[in-house]
Amino acid sequence: MNISAELILSFLRHLPEEDAIHMLEEAMPYKDRIIAVGLDSSELGNPPAKFKHIFEMARDEGFLAVAHAGEEGP
């Protein structure tokens, strides 16, 4: 049986974008193992717009941007 997996790096919405930037920087040595970036954690009070810059940075590095269902928000 063949099994494959790809990783999505998730930024935590309740933390500042600067923490997400640091996480992306720390993940770069493993870039070949990560396919995409996304958001996780508390949606209320933490809109996606708060992370505009980090998603631009991630796309510039070749990562896909993904989303998950809006459990708490739009």
17 included as an active-site residue: no
Q: How far apart are CA 48 and CA 13, in angstroms?
A: 8
What pLDDT does residue 14 have? 92
Residue spans of the chain under pLDDT 70: 69-74
pTM for the full model? 0.83
Query: Of 6, 61, 71, 72, which is the active-site residue?
Result: 71
CA distances 37 to 10, 28, 68, Å, are 6, 12, 11
What pLDDT does residue 45 have? 87
Q: How far apart are CA 51 and CA 2, in angstroms?
A: 36
